[in-house]
A and B are shown apart, each in its own frame.
Chain A
Amino acid sequence: MTADLGAQLAAAFDAAVAADERVEPRDWMPEEYRASLVRQMAQHAHSEIIGMQPEANWITRAPSLRRKAILMAKVQDEAGHGLYLYSAAETLGTSRDELLDKLHAGKQKYSSIFNYPTLTWADVGAVGWLVDGAAITNQVPICRCSYGPYARAMVRICKEESFHQRQGFELLMTLSKGTEAQHAMAQDAVDRWWWPSLMMFGPPDDESAHSAQSMAWRIKRHSNDELRQRFVDIAVPQAKALGLTLPDPDLKWNEERGHHDFGAIDWAEFWDVLKGNGPCNEQRISQRRAAHEEGAWVRDAAAAYAEKQAAQQAAQRAGQNEEARV
């Protein structure tokens, strides 16, 4: 490609993105745009898959059959979301296997939130309300992301996520209005999940490595801090409705800003969890690797069987051709 042509393509791309046109898999795109999307979409897909673990932890202990069914359906949806997102990422020229290998090797990340443990049943509700709530706040703008396959996957995912979030809220509401022990369980879960949920929006804007470029490319629509503020403003009245408090003494309405002020996030903890030192990092990735390694013989069997079937069909076709000639 000549320098001229390259510059023309880049200019046309920038203009299309600026005009809010969708980029599709066959369109030309800058290599950095492609790489940035693969990184973000892979991380998103990995988060769905690793995110199954903290919730699946409670499937066998769910306290009613209705809740058990809801939780199973939710974990199943998450596997489905992972599948959509890997498919969407594959349109950029990578493969699910390659991405999973990178996850298992620790070369690609997943959301740091899933490195926190689910210690009580109420955590299932707190994860639904806060973690899914934060995810939705993050993801709804991605429905308008410049890359078409990602945007379309997010439309489907957001619908299901909203449903999960309402179910999580309702679970917490039931606990909050239940016995004293249940109320305490709900409050304890919210106390433990509040700050990690705020960290889901990523580092503050002045420390976010990818933000400016992602926003210019319209992969991201809002900054980390904007989305975090939006989430806090939504969560505060919801907590009130739940009859639960949020563990932040500095949280208060700021009339002037028209937003809630909130306390300082422990960024040391955030970076530490991201580096692999959170309470469950080791456990999550070990379980994922174990499932993959222990499943290798199953995948090998499926591949061998498919090959045999294909060979058999080819032989049959050859036989039919032979007959036709005779």
Chain B
Amino acid sequence: MTMIQALRSAMDVMLERDPNVVVYGQDVGYFGGVFRCTEGLQAKHGRSRVFDAPISEGGIVGTAVGMAAYGLRPVVEVQFADYFYPASDQIVSEAARLRYRSAGDFTAPLTIRMPCGGGIYGGQTHSQSPEALFTHVCGLRTVMPSNPYDAKGLLIASIENDDPVIFLEPKRLYNGPFDGHHDRPVVPWSQHALGEVPEGHYTVPLDTAAVFRPGRQVTVLTYGTMVFVSEAAAQEAGIDAEIIDLRSLWPLDLPAIVASVKKTGRCVVVHEATRTSGFGAELAALVQEHCFYHLEAPIERVTGWDTPYPHALEWNYFPGPARVAAALRRAMET
């Protein structure tokens, strides 16, 4: 399956299994989503389970909070992560806090899916990676898969989870893995082992990272598209890097991170999002705090620049394998 098919399959499975699951968002119903992630779901499950919504992110998330308070398990879509901002108040002030402020009287078991990330000439408002705006919010879970198998298992786990989950989908990975070599043809998921996805129900547990590539020389902490970019970079630099795909950004799998960095003694953090106060800052702080005496080099961060995401300069902005490889070499030099 492609990642699109895997995500669709996760929603299909959950619509089938749990009568309280509903799926809606802009163009999600009849048309099946601008990325085809919900294609066929309305025809199969009916209009009261899968439907189109007005262009109002605040309204989509706000109604979802109300539905969740009723007892449903809404899975809503924000068409692009770049457009979640109108729903910020409902996400931060409401969904994230409902359980806490009502002492469990009401809860918000909802999942908000958002295609994110760049590398598609999406310009300023079709490329952003706003994960740090969610990881900073107490009460939210933030999840990002990097491949079809994880995408389905993590999405099912997110829908089943009783906490509100921000589910970020790197759209650059929808049809195939991408290592940053934009000049090479895209390899489809059908030719990748992680494109192998079971039909039925399974989960990939939240709060657990995956060792994407075992290695001994340096730990790379990353997620989403940058997993493949980091893999290519390690290979091209000839460095035996251990690449950790965090999968769950927050809460995260601290033991996996600590075990790896203690083993390698070096750490490079890689993400597409802008650098300052980005999620990488939290990762670097955690590594510093928990692995200080094992570190043999300063922690490196390879990230998007602190600028809005440009159009023409896409590949100067996107942290490609050359930049990651340079950071791996720097980490090895000291």
A and B are partners in one complex rather than unrelated chains: no
B contact residues vs A (CB 8 Å cutoff)? none
Q: Which residues of A contact B (CB under 8 A)?
A: none
